Amino acid sequence: MAAAGAAQVHEECTIKPLFIKGPSLGVRLLALTVLSVVLMVTDARLNVLQPVRAQLGMILMPLYYVAELPVRAWENVQTQLTSRADLIAENERLRAESLLTQRKLQKLAALTEQNVRLRELLNSSSLVDERVLVAELVGVDPNPFTQRIMIDKGERDGVFLGQPVLDATGLMGQVVEVMPFNSRVLLLTDVSHSLPVQVNRNGLRAIATGTGTSDWLELRHVSDTADIRIGDIMVSSGLGQRFPAGYPVGRVISVEQDPAEPFSIVKVAPTAQLNRSRYLLLVFSPESAYGDVFPALKLDQTAASDGPVPAPKVPDAGGASSETVEPAATEEGSDDAP
């Protein structure tokens, strides 16, 4: 009896473990790593997670809106606190800019009429207006090795893969992923992006490739004898039928020639404000295979002519328009941007 009582007391005094020991931390880390690699390979090769990303993008849309609430509130406070003197100064500045813009529009009207007449003489296709859709930037890819942004327009707005995107000063990139309410845009400066361009001064064609930094692009395979100078404006050539022809891409900032190398090293600074622009334009260009899928907004010219005109292009360095007269029927080649 005494032995049985002692055993019972010992059993009652034994402390049961609170936590059950599971797999070690290293085993769990290895399992999660393998699972992550499998998911990345599956998504990259088979593209089976596209519906999941689309649904997650739709679910996270309210979070983007909530994250922007402090910024919007601060902007409203700043607007309310703006002094009367600042408003008067801004009003005078805007009035002066409006006069300059009206003068430029008058020149663009004359150039457009001249362009139409030359196209008729060349028996080429008539001028077709390019429709645009205004979008707002809602996110930037945090990966330092990619140059991507997210906009607030998606499949339900008529956005399609490969659609050109530009801001008020030049081309920015193209749409690479479309979700119901959002889209991702690959910028021109991404290392995986290439764009057929030409020198606006003499029509010399080249390929502008991203360098991974938003400061400059690189022109590939430019011979040492090519007529290209610092200050030359590069515009889209329209080859590949992805980007409309004639839109500004950048300005040449450096031309380095090495006798030991067969090609020159040409650097181009983008004209688009890749790190500053908040409102963008999605171009529904007739040069693209998807140019007529959505009745987007039309940019009507403020001039005596009632006919449609292309989206405006920035003027050349000398103050005159950099729009070139080139028949649409001459666009050929397959140097399509990825």
Buried b / exposed e across 228-260, counting CB within 10 Å, b at 16+? Answer: beeebbbbbbbbbbbbbbbbbbbbbeebeeeee
C-alpha to C-alpha distances, 105 to 45, 127, 283, 298, nearest whole angstrom: 49, 18, 21, 16
- Give the rounded distance of the alpha carbon of 113 from its chain centre: 31
Instruction: Verify that 71 and 108 share a domain, yes or no.
Output: no
Give percent above pLDDT 70 in the chain: 73
Instruction: Verify that 69 and 138 share a domain, yes or no.
Output: no
The answer to the question of residue 16 being in a domain is no
Written as six digits, the tokens of 325 are 């007269």
Domain containing 117 equals 91-338
Task: Say which amino acid occupies 104.
Answer: K
* pLDDT at residue 190, rounded to an integer: 95
Instruction: Verify that 123 and 245 share a domain, yes or no.
Output: yes
Q: Identify the domain boundary among 42, 77, 112.
A: 77
pLDDT digits (tens, 9 = 90+) for 262-286: 899 999 999 998 988 888 889 887 6
- Give the rounded distance of the alpha carbon of 45 from its chain centre: 24
- Give the rounded distance of the alpha carbon of 305 from its chain centre: 32
The answer to the question of residue 155 being in a domain is yes
Tokens 């181009």 correspond to 268
Instruction: Verify that 56 and 164 share a domain, yes or no.
Output: no
Instruction: Verify that 247 and 103 share a domain, yes or no.
Output: yes
Beta-bridge mates of residue 315:
321
The answer to the question of residue 23 being in a domain is no
pTM exceeding the 0.75 threshold for the entire prediction: no
Domains: count for the chain: 2
pLDDT digits (tens, 9 = 90+) for 35-74: 888 888 887 777 777 787 788 888 888 888 888 888 888 8
Q: Identify the domain boundary among 77, 112, 144.
A: 77
Instruction: Verify that 112 and 141 share a domain, yes or no.
Output: yes
> In whole angstroms, what is the distance from residue 128 CA to residue 162 CA?
20
Backbone torsions φ then ψ of 13, nearest 5 degrees: -80, -10
Enumerate residues 6+ apart whose C-beta is below 8 A from 333.
Answer: 196, 239, 240
> In whole angstroms, what is the distance from residue 61 CA to residue 57 CA?
6
Instruction: Verify that 72 and 209 share a domain, yes or no.
Output: no
The secondary element (H helix, E strand) that includes residue 102 is helix 84-121
The answer to the question of residue 83 being in a domain is no
Written as six digits, the tokens of 236 are 């889209």
